[in-house]
Structure 1
Amino acid sequence: MASPSSYLIKTYRWSVYVLTLCILSACGTDHPIPFSPDSCSLDGAWEFRESTDSIWQPAAVPGDVITDLMNAGLRDSPYQQTNERLSAPLETKEWIYQTEFDLPNPLDASFELIFEGIDTYSTILLNDEILGETDNAHRAYRFPATNLRVGINTLQVRLHSAVVEGQQKLDASPWLIPVSNEDRPQGKQTSSVSRKAYYQFGWDWGPRLVSAGIWKSVSLVKTRSSAPQNMRLDLFELDEENATYHVRLDATDSLEWQLDGPSGSPVQYEMTPVHDSLWQLTIAAPQLWWPRDMGDQPLYTLRCSNTGGSQSLRFGIRFIEWIRERDDLGRSFACHVNGHKVFARGANIVPADFFPVRARERIEETLQQAIAGNMNMLRVWGGAVYGEDSFYDRCDELGLLVWQDFMFACCMVPGDSGYAASVEAEARHNVQRLRHHPSLAIWCGNNESEKAWKTWGWPNLYGLSSQDSVAVQRAYDSVFGALLPQIVAEESDQFYWASSPMKDPLHQKDHGISGDEHAWRVWFDTLDFDYYSDHGGRFASEYGLQSLPNRHTLEAVGIHAFDDEALQFRQRSKMEWLKPGLDGWGMMRIYAKRYAADPGVETGNADALDRWIYLTQLTQAEGLREALERHRFSRGKTSGS
């Protein structure tokens, strides 16, 4: 069900949308900006237009089509009233983004264009020549800039509709691909085939705004094939006297090393070559990294350089393992750091603004909220986006562990080779990018996809024949049972868990409980709060109840009364399987009547909106309190909540 770019802590409160000098002269800027001989940032002022329009509008890169339209005064905020409906026609349109830069002198080296993130389908042109195409918002792309010229160069990105492109892919599929949260007819649920944030196609906690954009940085960088790159550190041995790492690196020239300790000054170490791409690093008197409230978070920086360039990594010395041992209850599932068990206290998180380009401004706010809530772990939920580098950097510094989903949620996957290749590139990019962070505790393949396939009746719901069901299962296994664990093993020394929730594969023939659990039978099955003591699994990785937000939040988007259309329009949670017509309003009322009072009954002088706000928030708070206390006092049954 649930869950930095930047992220908003998600407790299932009712969400309201809520050696040549390069000189760049970007469209819309008055003064050329000088850059170093090695790289030029192309971020900043661009221009854009709909493909059928002739009028260019100012745009920002990194950015998003909808935010650019708002900034240009061409669209009101989709958060206001029922404006989300007005954004629907945008999802089938194509957009053109463009900038120009001036190279005053001939180049004496080759360069490449790096796009850190494009959402999602695009064609890239430099000086009217196609450099390449993109089909995945979750990865970076690099294109050789072979046709640069002296003088004005024009870079253009043609963004294709994710809905139109996705429909073509879905129509070509030999079977329907089940997905649960996109509220579209079967055969039109295109989120299942596109590598784009699932929540942007709509979820039970948020709007449907299928936008597009160049949502991360763009740069023109000198190609340096001999520079150190792809540095990787694997902890080999750790004791009180030494920490020993295996260091892997791609480089062709002789190397110089430097290790700075937590104070920023060089520390004692030994670097012993094993072969051309492998070294052994030994650090004397290591200072260990700990989760918050268990110790400090000292961080080291390893630098490597040669004539071609340099690379550095900041890391913390720690040993993480997930203990899965037989016990009286079944099989444990607990995170241990440096030999000590961690009781994980945390939340699932999604972007703090629907548009990740704006959400990154709230990274620090989000993490400080987690600290104020006495948390030590955050789960980056698989229906959103991988976090910004700065998110993980701050988690390292603050001692916040990260449960990292790959970006899949409540869905099955296509079985074609093109999709698999795109997923492989995405996974390698992100595992390589994040593997050095001491805060990263686990890689998880997906959110609820395995549970959905096994228990939500998808084969019958989607009319899949026995043969098609086998093919869908095979496609799922090829990604989550083979491809992703293989990449995690090849690119890191980290732990991989195929799906959340999931019973432990080691436990298939054992009695008792194992793995992690999404404790949603409170809420979706109307069970009492004592269920939090009785549910399966050894780690509660999701649970919660819905409530309304504060009046201030509602009024900020134009909602002033309970019967306002804008408020009723935002209710997306439906439980038709329990009772026809039952939705989030009915479910909030069931729990409020059970644990507080009926918000539908007029009492005192409070108006209906204030009554609903107070009673649903009170019920939610009581439910979360009971869940947290029951998990914490479970006598070893539950190791995370």
Structure 2
Amino acid sequence: MTRVTYLVWSVLVLTVIINGISGQEYKIELSSSHVTWRVENKNKSISVAATVPGGIYTDLQNAGIIGNVLDGFNDVLARWVAYDSWTYETKFQVRPEYLEHAASILVLEGVDTVAFLEMNGRPFGLTNNMFVRYVFDIKQYLKAGENELGVRFMSPLEAANARSEKHFTAPQCVPQEYHGECHANQLRKMQASFSWDWGPAFPSVGLWKNVSIEFYNGAIIRTVTTHINRDKFHWYLKIVAHLESGVKKQKVKGYLSAKLSVNAHQSLTIGKHIELWTRDDGKIEAELNMTIHANVISLWWPNGYGEQPLYDLEVGLMNEGESHVSRKQVRIGFRTIELVEDDASTALGNTTGGQGLTFYFKVNGYPLFMKGSNWIPSNILPELGADKEIVDHLLMSARDTHMAMLRVWGGGVYESDYFYQKCDELGILIWQDFLFACAMYPTDAEFLETVQVEIEQNVNRLQHHASIAVWAGNNENEVAIRGNWYNTQPEFDRYKSEYIKLYVDVIKPIVERLDPGRRYLVSSPSNGRKSEEDGYIALNPYDAHYGDTHYYNYIADNWDFNIYPQTRFASEYGFQSFPSLKTMRSATNKSADFSLDSDYSKHRQHSPNGNNNIEVQITRHLRLDKNDTDYFRKFVFFSQISQAMSIKAETEFYRQSQADWFTMGALYWQLNDVWQAPSWAGIEYGGKWKMLHYFARRFFAPVLVSPRLTLTGDVDVYLINDRFVPIIDAEIIVDVFNWSSLTPILTQSYPANTEALSSTKQASLDIWKKENKEEILLKFSLKCMGVESPPNYIFPVPLKTVKGLSTPNIRVKLRRLDVSSEDENRFVVTIKTDAIVLFFWLESEVDGHFSDNGLILTEGETQLYFTTKVSTNKKTIQRGISYSYYMH
């Protein structure tokens, strides 16, 4: 990188808030709620108020320099921002007594990304990794009174190009359909900020996390890690306090203590005197060990399997000769987790599926099927990704649809502390990718050095969370090398060597040293332990007998269970759909844009051939006339039907395959969205649930009757049970309907029994193998005391060819729920129909949430709930409710 001339900063007037940590320790917060920041570009033609934590796009948007970044074509129209250089600057006051402390430390929690730092006109450091917390000793640069801090950012596009010229690593650029930028793999920066097939390019710069200055003597606790093991009667907790002195090679003397709050309002306290020498970087670790009787601890369970008790752990360090204590508090859960990769024949016997290795998570001694999705950043601008309201909504939406695991995908960011704390509380396990995705990566000394710091810091930061289940080195890079995705085959040996150097020689030892209790997978997908045995680049990383797989197929009939390959663990799979018209209108109000042929629609579809792939799937099953004057609205609606039905089929196939292949995970792609565009998401940007997410509540149900239409024309019926108790003496009810009537023409029942935590085929049916299959549908339900299963359906032929489907007379009525005042925003919605209705979909102009949607109506009356975000009268809601359904 080339050092550029620093800008001359203008004088600022500001107020500094000083937070006294204790009698002898002080902290100056430099967030913009306490001081005034400004940002200006290279030629000083733009100078505006800045926000810290924040970023350049939000600052320019707030100043009116650019419009809403997600409107229209603004992702391209505002690209000039990423080509300019920007300087953030502030002034603050330092009292003379603060400078008497041994350490004066500038802490930058997140800098995005390549920046040069100055204090009072004197350069003192640089940054090159947005995932690293930077800690600078600035004692020699500070003065009593007014001080000035400047952070001069290099254009991320120029920085990436400059590095690529020296250390080119494939691929050259993203596909042109992404409307993105090149060489994101050269920077330790959110890879998706240069664009992806589901999102726009906003190559941001800024101080995206907190900035502060710490003054202290002795040492402080920067992070705490916990290592938990158990036997029959006790938990064994090793607590590691990661200390920083701020001074090289310093003796740290003091008293280290830990207090753990346990059940029945009890607490356990331990402590010891320490006397340690820090390393050259001023850091050292100190340990405490605590033994806890199992009687005072309750187990932490994933969502759907039990409760999530968390316990406060406070670790303190009283430095010798000082009156202050450095404290760190975390909340921990007690659970065991293991990724089991054993001989598959032990689970399945010596069958075809019994070859190879298992791949499943055993939690608290039980093998649990992991239901869930993949998490991408909640906002394309990283400084906005920690918004608690948005994080809460997305994670609770995952919880409410029975998800037990989310995979934090490797092209985003390590999420906020709040995100992982919320996952701990909700019981959502996290498959955490390290942030390398869909590319080869350089292995020059500078790159590897910053990666080492990144991995160490983030493992230490996240390790104590009960929700962290597994670490993975990268997203799809093993299969990319083996599959020659980026024309790397001519240099295969080079790229394999660099791959091993980065993920095996550098990252793997760090993770295994800092967190030996969790599995580190080199890649996802991979063959897991088998890939390692085969030299880390397997001949077939998608081998169904090992590890995890990512599977996408837009050509075959995606509603057909029989097209999907077996796998031990499906960690990615999905299909696109359009967001609702309501969500799209938040990005454009031009009627001409609402057409598949519009420049706007083409611009927003980043997946090559994406709209055609959606159309192929729609027209396999649904009748859609291109000459229909309502074509675009129907295309949008049908795309959500097709997506929901396709992922339903694939997910239920994986859940069924627990029986004969020991498939033990289904994480579909993807949970959330970053803008208003076609994508694989189940929740639209803004938080609206697509039909897919409503379907997920049903196809992830803890107990599910799941039928499969086989290639021979039979219907295999599975009973899936994710509970810890078996299902016995149950009945599966099969109702056969003519499309023309709400009254079944035939009802039959079949005995059903299954073990706990299992999937079992109950029967193979041929009751509908007769003429006129296009005139009937099958409904499956469960009759069992105290056990519920959502209804499930089989359509023997594509819906576009069914006969007898009549136009229904539908009435929708609303009434306020007659309960306590705390539910005043909840309403009962009653739907009445005189005919079968397919994919009945409710919309509301009033912001709120339906308890169910996308329904197959086979009864004359159905009730569900609508909850508004704010108090609204019934008439306003009733007027704003509309509905759609499939009809041909």
Superposition TM-score tier, normalisation by shorter sequence:
0.7 to 0.9
Aligned to 1:639: 664
Report deviation, 1:235.
1.9
Describe the shift of the 1:503–1:273 C-alpha distance in structure 2 as closer, same or farther (beyond 3 A): farther
Aligned to 2:408: 380
1:323 aligns with 2:340: yes
Counterpart pick for 1:513 among 541, 545, 553: 545
Describe the shift of the 1:357–1:141 C-alpha distance in structure 2 as closer, same or farther (beyond 3 A): same
1:545 aligns with 2:575: yes
**SS of corresponding position for 1:450:** helix
Aligned to 2:253: 253
Distance (Å, rounded) in 1 between the aligned partners of 2:375 and 2:13: 37
Distance (Å, rounded) in 2 between the aligned partners of 1:111 and 1:623: 58
Identity of aligned residues (%): 28
Aligned to 1:35: 19
Aligned to 2:235: 243
**SS of corresponding position for 2:314:** strand
**SS of corresponding position for 2:91:** strand
Report deviation, 1:79.
1.3
1:311 aligns with 2:337: no
Aligned to 2:508: 485
Aligned to 1:137: 130
**SS of corresponding position for 1:203:** coil
Distance (Å, rounded) in 1 between the aligned partners of 2:310 and 2:272: 22
Report deviation, 1:533.
6.6
Contact 2:556/2:563 (CA < 8 Å) preserved in 1?
Answer: no
Describe the shift of the 1:30–1:39 C-alpha distance in structure 2 as closer, same or farther (beyond 3 A): closer
Aligned to 2:289: 280
Q: In the TM superposition, what are the counterparts of 1:530-569 in structure 2 within 5 Å? A: 530=560, 534-558=564-588, 560=591, 561-562=594-595, 563-569=597-603
Return the letter of the residue paired with 2:328.
Q
Distance (Å, rounded) in 1 between the aligned partners of 2:264 and 2:12: 41
Contact 2:224/2:461 (CA < 8 Å) preserved in 1?
Answer: no
**SS of corresponding position for 1:66:** helix
**SS of corresponding position for 1:235:** strand
**SS of corresponding position for 1:220:** strand
Describe the shift of the 1:64–1:229 C-alpha distance in structure 2 as closer, same or farther (beyond 3 A): closer
Describe the shift of the 1:260–1:617 C-alpha distance in structure 2 as closer, same or farther (beyond 3 A): same
Q: In the TM superposition, what are the counterparts of 1:334-345 in structure 2 within 5 Å? A: 334-345=360-371
Describe the shift of the 1:528–1:617 C-alpha distance in structure 2 as closer, same or farther (beyond 3 A): closer
Aligned to 1:125: 118
Distance (Å, rounded) in 2 between the aligned partners of 1:406 and 1:564: 38
Distance (Å, rounded) in 1 between the aligned partners of 2:544 and 2:402: 31
Counterpart pick for 1:416 among 435, 440, 444: 444
Report deviation, 1:538.
0.8
Aligned to 1:160: 154
Return the letter of the residue paired with 2:636.
I
Contact 1:61/1:216 (CA < 8 Å) preserved in 2?
Answer: yes
Return the letter of the residue paired with 1:322.
L
Report deviation, 1:374.
1.6
Contact 1:46/1:58 (CA < 8 Å) preserved in 2?
Answer: yes
Aligned to 1:359: 385
Aligned to 2:203: 210
Contact 1:179/1:410 (CA < 8 Å) preserved in 2?
Answer: no
**SS of corresponding position for 1:280:** strand
Report deviation, 1:356.
2.2
Aligned to 1:189: 182
Aligned to 1:445: 473
**SS of corresponding position for 1:177:** coil
Contact 1:232/1:436 (CA < 8 Å) preserved in 2?
Answer: yes
Relative CO higher for 1 or 2, CA cutoff 8 Å, sep ≥ 6?
1
Distance (Å, rounded) in 2 between the aligned partners of 1:436 and 1:369: 24
Q: In the TM superposition, what are the counterparts of 1:453-472 in structure 2 within 5 Å? A: 453-458=481-486, 461=487, 465=490, 468-472=491-495
**SS of corresponding position for 1:501:** coil
1:296 aligns with 2:307: yes
Return the letter of the residue paired with 1:249.
A
**SS of corresponding position for 1:206:** coil
Distance (Å, rounded) in 2 between the aligned partners of 1:417 and 1:310: 36
Distance (Å, rounded) in 2 between the aligned partners of 1:250 and 1:586: 53
Q: In the TM superposition, what are the counterparts of 1:537-616 in structure 2 within 5 Å? A: 537-558=567-588, 560=591, 561-562=594-595, 563-574=597-608, 583-598=609-624, 601-603=626-628, 607-616=630-639
Return the letter of the residue paired with 1:568.
K
Report deviation, 1:101.
0.4
Aligned to 1:402: 430
Aligned to 1:348: 374
Distance (Å, rounded) in 1 between the aligned partners of 2:270 and 2:135: 35
Deviates more, 1:316-325 or 1:554-563: 554-563
Distance (Å, rounded) in 2 between the aligned partners of 1:265 and 1:222: 35
Report deviation, 1:31.
4.7
Distance (Å, rounded) in 1 between the aligned partners of 2:174 and 2:216: 43
Return the letter of the residue paired with 2:259.
L
* Greater fraction of residues in strand: 2
Return the letter of the residue paired with 1:426.
E
Report deviation, 1:267.
2.5
Describe the shift of the 1:90–1:303 C-alpha distance in structure 2 as closer, same or farther (beyond 3 A): same
**SS of corresponding position for 1:290:** coil
Report deviation, 1:537.
2.8
Contact 2:117/2:151 (CA < 8 Å) preserved in 1?
Answer: yes
Describe the shift of the 1:275–1:592 C-alpha distance in structure 2 as closer, same or farther (beyond 3 A): farther
**SS of corresponding position for 2:151:** strand
Distance (Å, rounded) in 2 between the aligned partners of 1:630 and 1:444: 25
- TM-score normalised according to structure 2 size: 0.64
Aligned to 1:148: 142
Distance (Å, rounded) in 1 between the aligned partners of 2:88 and 2:526: 43
**SS of corresponding position for 1:420:** helix
Contact 2:114/2:153 (CA < 8 Å) preserved in 1?
Answer: yes
Distance (Å, rounded) in 1 between the aligned partners of 2:498 and 2:332: 36
Return the letter of the residue paired with 1:114.
V
Return the letter of the residue paired with 1:125.
E
Aligned to 1:333: 359
Distance (Å, rounded) in 2 between the aligned partners of 1:393 and 1:27: 40
Distance (Å, rounded) in 2 between the aligned partners of 1:49 and 1:250: 38
Q: Deviations over 1:278-315 (max 9, x none)?
A: 33210122321111221211112222223232233321
Describe the shift of the 1:386–1:318 C-alpha distance in structure 2 as closer, same or farther (beyond 3 A): same
Report deviation, 1:189.
2.6
Contact 1:98/1:156 (CA < 8 Å) preserved in 2?
Answer: yes
Describe the shift of the 1:272–1:515 C-alpha distance in structure 2 as closer, same or farther (beyond 3 A): farther
Distance (Å, rounded) in 1 between the aligned partners of 2:222 and 2:157: 36
Deviates more, 1:272-281 or 1:347-356: 272-281
Report deviation, 1:420.
0.6
**SS of corresponding position for 2:115:** strand
**SS of corresponding position for 1:447:** coil
Contact 2:90/2:150 (CA < 8 Å) preserved in 1?
Answer: yes
Distance (Å, rounded) in 2 between the aligned partners of 1:411 and 1:527: 30
Aligned to 2:396: 368
**SS of corresponding position for 2:299:** coil
Describe the shift of the 1:179–1:287 C-alpha distance in structure 2 as closer, same or farther (beyond 3 A): farther
Distance (Å, rounded) in 2 between the aligned partners of 1:266 and 1:476: 49
Contact 2:186/2:441 (CA < 8 Å) preserved in 1?
Answer: yes
Return the letter of the residue paired with 2:155.
S
Distance (Å, rounded) in 2 between the aligned partners of 1:588 and 1:363: 29
**SS of corresponding position for 1:111:** strand
Report deviation, 1:105.
2.9
Distance (Å, rounded) in 2 between the aligned partners of 1:283 and 1:215: 40
Contact 1:269/1:282 (CA < 8 Å) preserved in 2?
Answer: no
**SS of corresponding position for 1:278:** strand
Deviates more, 1:276-285 or 1:309-318: 276-285
Larger radius of gyration: 2
Contact 1:424/1:484 (CA < 8 Å) preserved in 2?
Answer: yes
Q: Deviations over 1:511-546 (max 9, x none)?
A: 9611001111x22x5454446774243111111111
Distance (Å, rounded) in 1 between the aligned partners of 2:372 and 2:587: 29
Q: Deviations over 1:11-69 (max 9, x none)?
A: xxxxxxxxxxxxxxx98776543432511110014100102115521010111111110
